[in-house]
Chains A and B, each alone.
Chain A
Amino acid sequence: MYEEPYKWVEAVGNRRQYLDEQFKQGSPVVALVYDTGILLLTVSKGTPKLYEVYDRLALGGMGHPADLEKLRFSLLEMAHVEGFNRSPSDVTGGRMVKYGIAPVIKQAFEEIFKAPFIVKILLAELGQKAGKDSLLVINYDGTFEEGAQCAVLAASRPVERDMVAYLKQQASTPPSLEQACGMALRAWALGDRSQRKAGEDRSEQNPATTESPAAIDAASLYAHLRDAVAEKTVECALLDRNQPGSSKYRVLTPDELGRLLPKDIGVVFS
């Protein structure tokens, strides 16, 4: 059935369509560099979406939990064996992605008789010095790109672009942790709202519209949050440069989140 080249291309095209569909209901993930580290934030229902990978590496994921677990384990295995046999400073995000999971994801995506990974991954790496942080985003087809100040995962490219534009417009220099928490949560709300809207628009046969970052007001985002966060959990983790010891990953406790997230949202976070 796929022996002719154009049919293979068609099959891969179908795969894209199928995968795009799978992420529609997903919760976006936001990663943002703040003054002493990197913040990762998402809103999850039940299964966590943010994980510690290595001393200076953290992972955020979107997609099928079983696929995410599989890739998370291969990252963990690779990072720890490498860190033990060489040194922890040789375990870099770039190497983990380029020689580790990106080829695996690409291969699974193109082997059209097998199931692809339904997963998008964000890998955050805390640099040894400020300004050396890196944020890598890997798509379901194995393509990846690197960002410096912020990176996001969302259902589609246009939504991701909106979220990044919003984050960039909010601050030019690295914000404080408290500011970063607010920014990340608003960017999440923006992404989640756009995703839902895109779903509704499509059912009405209208093309998706993008919002200009300047026209977005916090109040409307908070209003969306009040609806969206009900019965879900805000998940927030840090790669904190000031954390003592070699492991820099830390999950923010509900108490800390309550203090750090903007007060004017009017949502009680659990």
Chain B
Amino acid sequence: MRIQGDFYQLLKEQGYQFGASAVAGEGRDFMTATTILAFKYRDGVLVAGDRRATAGNMVMYDRTDKVLEIDRHSVMAIAGVPATAYEMVRVLEHSFKYYRRTQLQELSFEGKLRAVSKLLKDNVPAALAGTGAVVPVFAGYDFQQEAAKIYFYDILGAEFEGVEYAVSGSGSPTIRGILHYLNTWGGRPLAASTEEEAAIQALRLLTSAAEFDSATGGVNRETNLYPIIKVITQDGVRVMPNDQLKRLFESEVVRHV
């Protein structure tokens, strides 16, 4: 008997293929031109990402949403090849819904993590061929443990819990150090900050990443373009409105010299 309520399995039975390599084994550099980050704050988890999509040294798009809602209580932030990442999100979204609707209960948080791992594992050929590497950060609210949690992955599908924070993408080395510093010697741990304080930190971190990484887009005030910031609490996923980000950016991030 097949596993009950498994949408991915159902798709595969119908001939759907995910992560097949286009040119086998021609390992190239993994392109992850992006900065995404997630850290815990007082009420849950904040997940943020810049909005730039690049192809080589060309800026393709400046309004990308890399922090994608999968259901009411989980998001996946994506770094890597967008086509694969969006497809993953679509599969996950339908899988979680299908499970809930067939089994009449929510898929557990652990079950959701497994689903992400499974997709990444199946995607290895495409990742190694250089056509489909994705390195996501998954965050959501775990109702069994009554806590919001962060997980990050390698391209082979191994999952690691980000106890305090997690980062991914080409701009992430810059801010990983900052996050460590802030969390250790910043007066108080990130997990104690309020939502507004967390949002200010996220804006500052992404601005720092954009400073040192050409593939990470910064804030563009002329076109009113701010990063995407979403928070996950017990009540679900909430998107921080642009107006609020604008206000915080102007009062707390811009340096008036």
Contacts and interface: CB of A to CB of B under 8 A. Distances in A.
Interface of A: 48, 51-55, 73, 76-77, 80-81, 83-84, 244-245, 247
B90 A76 contact: no
Q: Which among A73, A81, A245 has the highest number of chain B CB atoms within 10 Å?
A: A81
B72 A81 contact: no
B223 interface: no
B97 A81 contact: no
Contact of A51 (B91, B101, B236): B101
Interface string B95-113: 0011011101000000000
A76 B98 contact: yes
Nearest to A57: B101
Nearest to A55: B97
B14 A76 contact: no
A53 B98 CA distance: 9
A76 B69 CA distance: 22
State which size class the interface on B falls in. 10 to 19
Contacts of A52: 100-101
A101 to B, nearest CB: 16
B102 A83 contact: no
B101 A245 contact: no
Contact of B94 (A53, A73, A80): A80
A52 B99 CA distance: 11
Contact of A81 (B11, B69, B90, B104): B11
B72 A80 contact: no
Interface in B98-142: 98, 100-102, 104
Nearest to B97: A247
Contacts of B90: 84
B7 interface: yes
Interface string B1-34: 0000001001100100000000000000000000
B104 to A, nearest CB: 8
Contacts of B100: 52
Given A52-B101, A245-B72, A77 B94 contact: no
Contacts of B69: 245
Nearest to A249: B101
A199 to B, nearest CB: 32
A53 B102 CA distance: 8
B71 to A, nearest CB: 8
B10 A81 contact: yes
Nearest to A84: B94
A73 B102 contact: yes
A76 B7 CA distance: 10
15 contacts: A48-B104, A51-B104, A52-B101, A53-B101, A54-B101, A76-B98, A76-B102, A81-B10, A81-B14, A83-B94, A84-B91, A84-B94, A244-B72, A244-B236, A245-B72
A247 B73 CA distance: 13
Nearest to B238: A244
A84 B11 contact: yes
A50 B119 CA distance: 32
Contacts of B11: 81, 84
A77 B97 CA distance: 11
A245 B91 CA distance: 17
